[in-house]
């Protein structure tokens, strides 16, 4: 980014200023309240029209790679109580604080849902981009919690789900497509972990993955599992590069399932709730969503899939802001999400 190059501010600082400067969207149909669930800031949007019986509740994790993001966006989902979590950000609060905050606040709400007029069996978690990562990770963390109600569903909007292969077809085809260029994806991921940018090239060439892990994960992260129609814009199988123990040690957290939920064990995947997965054709993360869809379906988990043929990363976020900056693809995606929620 130009400002960073001339030393005025960093990209992350600039994006934080931009996000924090966005005024809250007001909606005459919603009550808005700011609370704390333990250490986590929460904004609650509640329909003004009283409902008969308990409503559904949706928890939203914003994107921003754990470095920036906003809780100021919201959409009226009808008879739904919505919660947006302002989890603490890196690098001031190092990874995995962001996941821990989301999990803590989610558990708090699941235990107190009745206090907000929400049916505990109708709680849905949702997130876009890295918020989709957090959604998948929180859903996985809850599968063995017998002291809590089961999540009703998870909604993943163009999620980042793996750090094993950065040369999947979608990474190759969309490496230069705004807003999420391949190089920016890697750079922001390393900033999130507070690692030096000098290792981007090595990570891009997969020098961070030891052979035993390559063999283990190729059954889940494999371009062979991407349907042929998603390779027609061009795809060249990547060549292997020498493994670096030093690089592996530096980026070892990327092999946590909190960072890369796609590589969770089968025993976890098999217990996950129903899912809605949205992917965009012009997005480096498209194939992460496709591969997670396959993993869930292979274990009998119901998946509602929405693919935006003209979509790009961030298009649904823009749709939250209405006609002024929305694209047709984002409006379509948002409508599909709302329709899915109404069935919950």
Residues marked as catalytic: 129, 283, 313
Phi and psi at 17, nearest 5°, equal -60, -45
CB count within 10 Å of CB 229 equals 7
Asked whether the beta carbons of 131 and 106 are under 8 A apart, the reply is no
Angle between helices 97-112 and 130-141 (to 10 degrees): 60
């Amino acid at each position: 980014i130009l400002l960073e190059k001339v030393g005025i501010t960093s990209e992350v600082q600039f994006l934080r200023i931009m996000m924090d400067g966005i005024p809250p969207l007001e909606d005459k149909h919603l009550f808005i309240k700011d609370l704390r669930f333990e250490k986590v800031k929460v904004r609650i949007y509640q329909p003004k029209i009283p409902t008969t019986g308990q409503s559904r509740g949706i928890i939203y994790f914003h994107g921003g790679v754990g470095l920036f993001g906003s809780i100021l966006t919201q959409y009226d989902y009808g008879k739904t109580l919505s919660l947006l979590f302002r989890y603490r950000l890196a690098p001031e609060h190092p990874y995995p604080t962001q996941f821990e905050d989301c999990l803590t606040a989610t558990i708090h709400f699941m235990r107190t849902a009745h206090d907000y007029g929400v049916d505990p069996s109708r709680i849905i978690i949702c997130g876009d981009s890295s918020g989709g990562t957090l959604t998948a990770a929180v859903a996985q963390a809850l599968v063995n919690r017998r002291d809590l109600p089961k999540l009703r569903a998870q909604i993943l909007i163009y999620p980042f789900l793996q750090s094993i292969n950065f040369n999947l077809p979608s990474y190759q085809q969309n490496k230069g497509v705004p807003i999420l260029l391949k190089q920016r994806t890697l750079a922001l991921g390393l900033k999130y972990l507070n690692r030096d940018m000098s290792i981007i090239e090595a990570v891009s060439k997969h020098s961070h993955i030891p052979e035993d892990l390559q063999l283990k994960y190729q059954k889940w992260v494999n371009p062979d599992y991407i349907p042929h129609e998603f390779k027609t814009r061009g795809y060249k199988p990547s060549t292997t590069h020498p493994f670096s123990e030093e690089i592996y040690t530096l980026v070892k957290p990327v092999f946590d399932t909190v960072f890369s939920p796609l590589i969770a064990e089968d025993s976890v995947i098999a217990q996950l709730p129903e899912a809605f997965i949205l992917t965009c054709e012009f997005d480096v993360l498209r194939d992460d969503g496709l591969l997670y869809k396959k993993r869930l379906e292979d274990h009998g988990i119901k998946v509602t899939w929405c693919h935006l043929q003209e979509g790009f990363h961030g298009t649904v976020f823009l749709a939250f802001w209405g006609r002024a900056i929305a694209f047709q693809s984002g409006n379509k995606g948002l409508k599909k999400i709302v329709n899915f929620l109404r069935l919950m």
